[in-house]
Amino acid sequence: MYYRVAICLDGSPHWYWESRMIVNIDTLLRVLRLYRTMPDRVYVFYSSSIEGLDLMLARLNEGLTCDTLTIDQLWAVNGV
């Protein structure tokens, strides 16, 4: 599974990649601790392919739905 963190800056309607590709859930959880104070402006994207991540970000920026997780959802799933 591939993960990547995207952020929406204040006042911007677009989401941008904030992290590089992450392939380990423990690494992802460590990265997300940096964003604990802004959980509503951070999404975690996950896909079985690298190309899938870019497609998901493009869909989100077009106002379409895509599978993402918030920081709170990811921590709840992983018992953090």
pLDDT, one tens digit per residue, over 52-63 is 999 999 999 999
Enter the pTM of the model: 0.85
Is residue 79 a part of any domain in this protein? no
Percent of the chain with pLDDT over 70: 95
Assigned domain for 78 exists: no
* Residues 73/80, Cβ–Cβ less than 8 Å: no
Does residue 77 fall inside a structural domain? no
Count the domains in the chain.
Answer: 1
Residue 7 lies in a domain: yes
In this prediction, residue 70 carries a pLDDT of 84
Q: pLDDT by residue (tens digit) across 12-35?
A: 889 999 999 999 989 998 888 888
Q: Are 67 and 46 in contact (CB under 8 A)?
A: yes
- Give dist(CA 6, CA 23) in Å, integer: 15
Distance of CA 68 to the CA centre of its chain: 6
Instruction: Note whether residue 39 is domain-resident.
Output: yes
The residue segments making up the domain with residue 62 are: 2-72
- Residue 46: inside a domain: yes
**Is the residue at 48 inside a domain?**
yes
**If DSSP codes are grouped into helix, strand and coil, which group holds residue 4?**
strand
Q: What are phi and psi of 13, to 5 degrees?
A: -85, -5
